[in-house]
């Protein structure tokens, strides 16, 4: 039985901070000497990969590591592949890190420009690593046709303004990208989700426009999809099951620019939030080590300062400033070591603050007891773990400083891993039965 909250009646609200009226264009970071691409290629068998250490690449060249459609990166520098190594990502994701060391003059690859037609084949082959990380995988499954594309002009996390900047200053590229998306996918129903104060003034953009609420976490993809569809998404359904595909505004602007320029854009717009909470925009090539951005913008780190990728609610810490900018790196937040809020081993005091904040109405005060004990299946069964939107509000308000959000992410990862192991075991059993 799924249990819902009995606590609280009014949910406290945290408002998104709009982009300042006097925001300046992103400060462009210099071309790095080394760029590292994180390719979602979990096989990790470096010896069998298609690209090899020592290969020379041009800027914009596709670097394939395996035959699987998404197992590639796009070179953001001209140079030599100086290393190809396994790279463990957050929550058990596996990547292969491909580092390019710049050598000689920059040269542009022409494979994309020679096939520069907005078709699904071209999009799948070349566009998956554009800034904003557009994904076309959902359009390749005839069993689950997509009828609606949602483009988010909302920044998912608080303080971030990368999407708002794109929506405000790259509207022509977004319009072109929407036209390209229609040609690529055949989907005519495109909806742009935006903050309420940005609802007007788009003109004819080829999409209908929907305003989200100004309160966090309205910009999270799941809540945007719910609002557009006008119905709650069942816990066991993904966007694809509902016939929906989701893109960020930056991804759509990048698609528009790619076909207009006949060249793949490789510069990511990032919101930088400094230790005082001041926000600015930076543009850096995908693969640039974050340390390079800090150095160029004269940002000094002290020992134990915390670097967070993403915003204050859902971002995650990284342990090296050498971590590279990725197509979905929307924000970098720097926290002074004095301001780092440490977790504790205090027990839950049943105050109910987390439950009052939870937009999914989960009874977190009870859920957390199961998560702390590693009882993930029981937590999912009894306390609606799957309904969690991963907004981080529960951790933010917890007076006992319990890392609830981290527990939830770990639990979801473990449940996914167990489900995959189960499927693999079933497949092996079927194969063995067939062989007999």
394 binds ligand SF4, rule: CB under 6 A: yes
Interface residue with ligand SF4, options 80, 135, 400, 406 (CB under 6 A): 400
Interface residue with ligand SF4, options 149, 270, 282, 360 (CB under 6 A): 360
Interface residue with ligand SF4, options 358, 371, 380, 411 (CB under 6 A): 358
- Angle at the Cα of 251 from the Cα atoms of 250 and 252, rounded to 5 degrees: 90
Interface residue with ligand SF4, options 349, 373, 425, 430 (CB under 6 A): 349
**Contact, 119 vs 197, CB < 8 A?**
no
Q: Minimum Å distance from CB 403 to ligand SF4?
A: 10
391 binds ligand SF4, rule: CB under 6 A: yes
- Judged by CB under 6 A, the number of residues near ligand SF4 is 30
Interface residue with ligand SF4, options 39, 74, 307, 362 (CB under 6 A): 362
389 binds ligand SF4, rule: CB under 6 A: yes
386 binds ligand SF4, rule: CB under 6 A: no
Find the part of the chain contacting ligand SF4 (CB under 6 A) among 50-58, 206-214, 292-300, 356-364. Answer: 356-364
Identify which of 245, 244, 299 has the alpha carbon closest to the alpha carbon of residue 270: 299
Closer of 269 and 354 to ligand SF4 (Cβ): 354
Find the part of the chain contacting ligand SF4 (CB under 6 A) among 26-34, 265-273, 299-307, 360-368. Answer: 360-368
398 binds ligand SF4, rule: CB under 6 A: yes
220 binds ligand SF4, rule: CB under 6 A: no
133 binds ligand SF4, rule: CB under 6 A: no
Which residues sit at the interface with ligand SF4, rule CB under 6 A? 348-354, 357-360, 362, 364-365, 368, 388-394, 397-400, 402, 404-405, 408
């Amino acid at each position: 039985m799924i249990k819902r909250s009995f606590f609280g009646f009014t949910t406290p609200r945290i408002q998104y901070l709009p982009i300042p009226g006097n925001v300046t264009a992103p400060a462009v970071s210099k071309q790095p000497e080394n760029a590292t691409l994180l390719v979602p290629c979990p096989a990790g068998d470096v010896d069998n990969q298609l690209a090899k250490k020592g290969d020379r690449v041009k800027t914009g060249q596709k670097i394939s590591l395996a035959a699987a459609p998404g197992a590639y990166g796009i070179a953001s520098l001209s140079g030599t592949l100086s290393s190809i190594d396994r790279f463990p990502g957050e929550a058990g994701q596996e990547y292969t890190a491909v580092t390019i060391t710049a050598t000689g003059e920059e040269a542009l690859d022409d494979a994309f420009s020679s096939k520069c037609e907005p078709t699904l084949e071209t999009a799948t082959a070349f566009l998956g690593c554009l800034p904003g990380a557009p994904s076309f995988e959902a359009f390749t499954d005839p069993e689950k046709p997509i009828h609606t594309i949602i483009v988010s002009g909302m920044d998912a996390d608080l303080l971030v303004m990368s999407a708002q900047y794109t929506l405000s200053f790259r509207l022509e590229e977004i319009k072109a990208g929407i036209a390209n998306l229609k040609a690529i996918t055949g989907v005519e129903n495109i909806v742009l989700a935006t903050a309420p104060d940005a609802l007007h003034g788009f003109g004819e953009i080829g999409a209908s426009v929907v305003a989200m609420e100004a309160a966090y976490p309205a910009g999270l993809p799941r809540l945007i999809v719910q609002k557009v569809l006008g119905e709650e998404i069942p816990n066991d359904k993904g966007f694809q099951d509902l016939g929906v595909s989701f893109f960020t505004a930056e991804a759509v602007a990048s698609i528009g620019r790619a076909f207009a320029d006949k060249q793949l854009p490789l510069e990511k717009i990032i919101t930088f939030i400094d230790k005082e909470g001041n926000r600015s925009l930076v543009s850096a090539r995908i693969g640039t080590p974050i340390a390079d951005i800090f150095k160029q913008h004269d940002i000094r780190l002290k020992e134990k300062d915390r670097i967070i990728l993403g915003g204050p609610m859902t971002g995650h810490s990284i342990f090296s400033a050498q971590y590279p900018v990725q197509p979905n790196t929307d924000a970098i937040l720097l926290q002074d070591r004095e301001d780092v809020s440490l977790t504790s081993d205090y027990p839950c005091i049943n105050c109910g603050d987390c439950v009052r904040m939870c937009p999914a109405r989960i009874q977190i005060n009870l859920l957390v007891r199961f998560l702390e004990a590693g009882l993930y299946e029981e937590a999912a069964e009894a306390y609606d773990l799957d309904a969690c939107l991963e907004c981080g509000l529960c951790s933010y308000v917890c007076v006992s400083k319990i890392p609830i959000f981290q527990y939830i992410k770990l639990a979801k990862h473990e449940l996914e891993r167990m489900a995959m192991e189960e499927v693999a075991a079933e497949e092996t059993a079927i194969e063995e039965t067939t062989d007999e």
